[in-house]
Structure 1
Amino acid sequence: MKILGTLWLACLCALPLAAAAQGYPNKVVRIIEPAGPGSAVDVFARKLGEGLSTRWGQSVVIDNKPGGNSAIGAREAARAAPDGYTLFHANINNSLNDLLLNDACCRLNEALLPVTLLTATPLVMVVNPGLGVKTLKEYLELAKRDPQALTFASGGTGSVTQLVGTKLNMATGLKIQEVPYKAIGAEMPDLLAGHVKTGYLAPVVVAQQIKAGKLVALGVAGNRRIPILPDVPTLAEAGLPGVEASGWNGLFVPAGTPKEIIQRLQADIAGVMETPAFKADARELGYELGGASAEEFSAYIKSEVSKWGGVIRDAKLKAQ
């Protein structure tokens, strides 16, 4: 009888959760965006918000909370009520923060639970044409012959651009010097002028410069070629396997959010991203669309933390 009573109580407790998911959403949904207005991820969040608003018949607002390498927005999201009405648009910086800062307040997969991956964008390794190299093989030969001739740009400590440049050094035994900038992409003027020799940037940022001959692409740091740059090999094809790096972003909710609401969110987001407009943007801008289950996204985050955690540990990188 005691067991039956416990089961009956559990069923009663589950009823409000199921009802909440069934009627969800019935008021404004807020997406906390840790980047500033007008940034690429902000633009994507606003487009997604419009699609969800149309699907739900409810307003979706984007609340920009930039700063702290995306940590400020993460902290606010983690403190929000776990009812599905506050979502967090996290990016790769948040997982790297978890590695470098070890702050329990807003760890992904713990304080913030995954809903679904939105996009993943493999970085493109580019060099200034003044180096006179056309392939990764020629670049590595130059680095061995004249190590002082090369530098690579990064977005500073803990940025994915620092980590991929460091991983290349570790994989090849080279010591190409890092030149840190305040943000990813801030190096473009110096890269074009030849003040820094190597960059790792999103395809949409460098595609036109490559086509105009202002930059030379040596490889895509992904597991396949990308439509926006079909003639550029992957780094593995170019002779350097195991060096992959993507900028990614996805949606999260505070821990304690009912599973039924997470599943509803994932299904609706995937539905919005299946539309022709989203698919066309992905082809044109060189990123891959997500939409998979929360469990798959969680596993992906774990794999990213494991991969970059090894680089941070072996290179003895510290937060600044």
Structure 2
Amino acid sequence: MTQIDRRHLLGGAAALAGFISFPGLAQSWPAKPVRFLVPFAPGGSSEIVARSTAGELSKTLGQSVFVENKPGASGNIAMAEAARADDQHTVILGHIGTLAVNPYMYDKLPYDPNKDFKPVSLLAKVPSLYVVHPNLPAKNLKEFIALVKAKPGAMNYGSAGTGSAGHLAMEYLKMTANIFITHIPYKGTGPQLTDLLAGRLEAASVGASAILQHIKAGKLRCIATGSSERLAQLPDVPTVAEQGFPGFEMTQWYGMLAPASMAQANVDKLAAETQKAVKSQASVERLNQDAALAVGGTPAQFAQFIALEQKRWKQVVERAKIKPE
């Protein structure tokens, strides 16, 4: 081999090595474990959806995907951290509260929900269930409303925090049924459930995934579902719409977002793998066990969905005058 040939060979090898290791290329991504931020405390629907998705993604991405709960400030702390992340290996669980409510509830946010993130995929929808402690003498929604109207403001309900899905669901019901019940925000679904199960709270609206086991065990009584149809897991519980409020529907939703700084090639690869992960048999079965509906979909579809939800919840937030507490 001549010296010129050797130079050409070595030059080509160097160029190929540079191509393979060039940061941001989908072929070499992910180069380390992927951090999946969840902006809420453990114990709620958000963790169930995130861990189900992360488990499936870990099988196909070639790197582990680990869930990290980072609650606080209605999800704003984690969202702000994810917005600034530029390591190409941080993603976050988007949610009805952080994407469609906080922009209208807060005068100023430490992140821009539309400019600081790239939608990856809508992961799942979780029906909101309206529940009461068994000690409360209300067997259905009609009886619950009658109790609340008899003593406006005397009863209380808990939520995972101001602007959380549970907060929105109950405020939506309050507006629809023209009732007043006092809101007590917690720092996550887990702490809220502790007090609800102990009877220190009288009512709540919680994602089906987090409380089905407690309903089936008789520790909580479900008086209505926010879904458009009755749930297979609770066939005897009528929807809110069936109980005098036609058209009423309330579901929580969760999706994956990447920081705007993530290379588009990486986002595209992640989106393709996430859609497959959400629709895998294992993921669908896991979510169905908790009455969650696996969705999936493209980044464009998720972006369109977010825009529609922002339009919807802007009206609710303004009408209910929901402000940070």
Corresponding position: 1:191 with 2:196: yes
- For residue 44 of structure 1, report the CA deviation from its aligned partner: 4.4
Q: State TM-score, norm by structure 2.
A: 0.79
Corresponding position: 1:23 with 2:35: no
Letter in 2 for 1:125: Y
C-alpha distance in 2, partners of 1:33/1:105? 16
Letter in 2 for 1:87: V
Corresponding position: 1:309 with 2:314: yes
Where 1:305 maps in the other structure, the secondary structure is helix
Letter in 2 for 1:52: L
Corresponding position: 1:171 with 2:203: no
RMSD over aligned CA atoms reads 3.0
Instruction: Name stretches of at least 5 consecutive residues in structure 2 with no aligned partner.
Output: 1-18
Residues paired across the two proteins, number:
303
Corresponding residue number in structure 2 for 1:248: 253
Corresponding residue number in structure 1 for 2:13: none
Instruction: Name stretches of at least 5 consecutive residues in structure 1 with no aligned partner.
Output: 1-14
Corresponding residue number in structure 1 for 2:89: 85
C-alpha distance in 1, partners of 2:251/2:25? 33
Corresponding residue number in structure 1 for 2:236: 231
Whether the aligned pair in 2 keeps the contact of 1:34 and 1:71 (CA below 8 Å) is no
- For residue 64 of structure 1, report the CA deviation from its aligned partner: 4.7
Q: Which of residues 284, 288, 291 in structure 1 aligns to 2:296? A: 291
Larger gyration radius, structure 1 or structure 2: 2
- For residue 114 of structure 1, report the CA deviation from its aligned partner: 0.7
- For residue 177 of structure 1, report the CA deviation from its aligned partner: 2.6
Cα 1:169–1:106 shift into 2, 3 Å: same
Letter in 2 for 1:288: L
C-alpha distance in 2, partners of 1:210/1:115? 33
Corresponding residue number in structure 2 for 1:75: 80
**Which is worse superposed, 108-117 or 189-198?**
189-198
Where 1:234 maps in the other structure, the secondary structure is coil
C-alpha distance in 1, partners of 2:41/2:190? 16
Q: State TM-score, norm by structure 1.
A: 0.81
- For residue 283 of structure 1, report the CA deviation from its aligned partner: 1.4
C-alpha distance in 2, partners of 1:221/1:80? 35
Where 1:249 maps in the other structure, the secondary structure is strand
**Which is worse superposed, 32-41 or 296-305?**
32-41
Corresponding residue number in structure 1 for 2:37: 33
Cα 1:37–1:43 shift into 2, 3 Å: farther
C-alpha distance in 1, partners of 2:71/2:144? 37
Corresponding residue number in structure 1 for 2:10: none
Whether the aligned pair in 2 keeps the contact of 1:37 and 1:43 (CA below 8 Å) is no
Whether the aligned pair in 1 keeps the contact of 2:43 and 2:210 (CA below 8 Å) is no
Corresponding residue number in structure 2 for 1:100: 105
Q: Describe how 1:123-134 pairs up with structure 2 within 5 A.
A: 123-134=128-139
